[in-house]
Amino acid sequence: AMAADDPATLVARPGFGFGASQALIAENARFLPGGVSSNFRLGMAEGPLVFRRGDGAFLVDADGNRLIDYYCGMGATILGHTPPEVTTAVRAQVEKGILFAGQTEVEFEAARLLCARIPSAERLRFASSGSEAAHAAVRIARAATGRRSVIKFEGHYHGWFDSILWSAAPPLNAAGPADAPVPVPGSAGQDAADAAGLEVIGWNDAAAVEARLARGDVAALLMEPAMCNQGAIAPAPGYLERVREACTKAGTILVFDEVITGFRLHRDGAQALFGVTPDLSIFAKAIANGFPVAAVVGRAELMDLVVTGGVVHGGTYNAQPVTMAALVATQRALTPERHARAGARGQRLQDGLRAALSEAGLTAQVAGFPLMFHVAFGPDEPARNYRDVAAADKAAYVRFARALLRRGVRVLERGAWFVSTEHDDAVIDATLDAVRAAAREVADG
């Protein structure tokens, strides 16, 4: 069904059809397994959708549906889908050239900008994906400490590489006891040898971190500073501070994975919001508003190991000039005032969601941060860790997500909502109209 452009009309009828997308996926699955290029695009509402264009807070799909988008490119498009500042800068750079196998002044400008803003960034190296940046951070930490062991946390995701894709979303019947989680591979084809030295513990338990690090053999402790791949869970009061102190005492490198939290929780990173500075951090997603840029940043003596310490870090597309132009334009456009205005609207959306679900008689938790939050059906109190998130009624939430999609609002079925600067008051109002209708539909069964 073709929807009108006025956002206020998007909830007029729950009749959005997706047959054209479904036909295109089926046809092109002959060439692309599943019709997609990332497994994380499988299993979504109405099947993977095919999009023709984006416009601010909206996407237009192959059926002509104009959908309010809360995927935001899995969190990347913090300025919306067509920010003129970014598209103008990218066009200008494309005209100058695409890839030089050398350095550019726009790369230096991008590095200076991030080092000036991010507390942990004395030096940085660019990469093309968060997975690559996480891999580099672990390599640097092992080289710096001469140790092998790496600690990660249950429910935290740091990329799809064999060495780290463990216990990111483990089924609880395989995950072992909460106080001694068993590493669970995230994919077929992984081998226990891939996780040599990797240990998994539960998050938001400072005493567990302190006890493990006291043995003095851990190279790196890697975490999302707020747990945002599963849920949107803030660190408990004092947790990050105690982890920082324990890492310092044990000589362990503290690594923050800010792929999602960076630029969403605060324009200078969650580390600025929480006031805790790690040794290394990784950034991606919203760093360049959808262009493939990532960065590993950190203390000078650690980062310099890629020059003086024999640590290899490479990549043909690292600091590709077009993506660097996008980064600079994105970060300059993301002023404190613009970030705060978007955050206020994101908070209004959260508050409206909470009220609408309650009015419909649905027990749900709406928790997180203004530009990234999570909705879970079932729990009667906020989640503290992965096991709390895993206990939610996922099937009921999927019904809600699909009811929203039929009313022109696209949300991730895992419960995450990403908000951009282009989700203005009219878009928020239209969304809440759809939410109220979808909540009544789910409540009525």
Condensed to tens digits (0 to 9), the pLDDT of residues 156-177 reads 999 999 999 999 999 999 999 9
- Residue 179 a catalytic site member: no
Per-residue pLDDT, 445:
79
- Residue 424 a catalytic site member: no
Identify the band that residue 152 occupies on the pLDDT scale cut at 50, 70 and 90. Answer: very high
The 10 Å Cβ neighbour count of residue 53 is: 11
Q: Considering only residues 171 and 46, tell me which one the structure prediction assigns the higher pLDDT.
A: 171
Task: Average the pLDDT over 400-428 and give the result.
Answer: 96
What DSSP state is assigned to residue 185? B
What DSSP state is assigned to residue 4? P
Tokens of 105: 């002044």
Q: CA-to-CA distance for 3 and 161, rounded, in angstroms?
A: 40
Tokens of 240: 């990050």
Per-residue pLDDT, 1:
38
- Residue 257 a catalytic site member: yes
Q: What are phi and psi of 432, to 5 degrees?
A: -65, -30
- Contact predicate 435/397, CB 8 Å: no
Tokens of 336: 């404190």
Catalytic residue, chosen from 61, 257, 268, 279, is 257
* CA quadruple 30, 34, 39, 45: dihedral sign: positive
Per-residue pLDDT, 30:
97
Task: Average the pLDDT over 86-92 and give the result.
Answer: 98
Catalytic residue, chosen from 61, 63, 268, 285, is 285
Give me the helix-helix angle, 84-96 and 321-333, nearest 10°: 150
Per-residue pLDDT, 61:
95
Residue type, 288: A
Q: CA-to-CA distance for 407 and 14, rounded, in angstroms?
A: 5
Residue type, 236: A
- Contact predicate 60/18, CB 8 Å: no
Judged against a pLDDT cut of 90, whether residue 4 lies above it is answered with: no
Reduced to 3 states, what is the DSSP secondary structure of residue 261? coil
Q: Write down the H helix ranges in 201-278.
A: 206-213, 239-250, 270-274
Per-residue pLDDT, 411:
97
Per-residue pLDDT, 8:
42
Number of helices and strands in the chain (H, E) = 15, 14
Per-residue pLDDT, 44:
76
Q: CA-to-CA distance for 420 and 57, rounded, in angstroms?
A: 7
Tokens of 282: 């990784």
Q: CA-to-CA distance for 118 and 331, rounded, in angstroms?
A: 12
Q: Residue 255 forms beta bridges with which residues?
A: 222, 280
Tokens of 292: 């493939």
Q: CA-to-CA distance for 207 and 212, rounded, in angstroms?
A: 9
Task: Average the pLDDT over 215-242 and give the result.
Answer: 97
- Contact predicate 172/209, CB 8 Å: no
* CA quadruple 308, 311, 315, 316: dihedral sign: positive
pLDDT in tens, 268-325: 999 999 999 999 999 999 999 999 999 999 999 999 999 999 999 999 999 999 999 9
Q: How long, in residues, is the chain?
A: 445
Distance of CA 275 to the CA centre of its chain: 20
Please give the mean pLDDT across all residues of the chain.
94
Catalytic residue, chosen from 71, 157, 386, 397, is 157
Q: Can you say whether residue 56 is alpha, beta or left, with left for phi > 0 and alpha for psi between -120 and 50 degrees?
A: left
- Contact predicate 374/397, CB 8 Å: no
Share of the chain above pLDDT 90, in %: 93
Q: CA-to-CA distance for 152 and 167, rounded, in angstroms?
A: 9
Judged against a pLDDT cut of 90, whether residue 40 lies above it is answered with: no
Reduced to 3 states, what is the DSSP secondary structure of residue 241? helix
- Walk across the sheet containing 51-55 and list its strands: 51-55, 58-61, 66-69, 409-410
- Contact predicate 2/64, CB 8 Å: yes
Burial of 338 (0-12, 13-18, 19+ CB in 10 A): middle
**C-alpha count within 13 angstroms, C-beta hemisphere, residue 381:** 3
- Walk across the sheet containing 280-283 and list its strands: 123-127, 294-298, 280-283, 253-257, 218-223, 149-153, 198-201
Identify the band that residue 432 occupies on the pLDDT scale cut at 50, 70 and 90. Answer: very high
Per-residue pLDDT, 95:
98
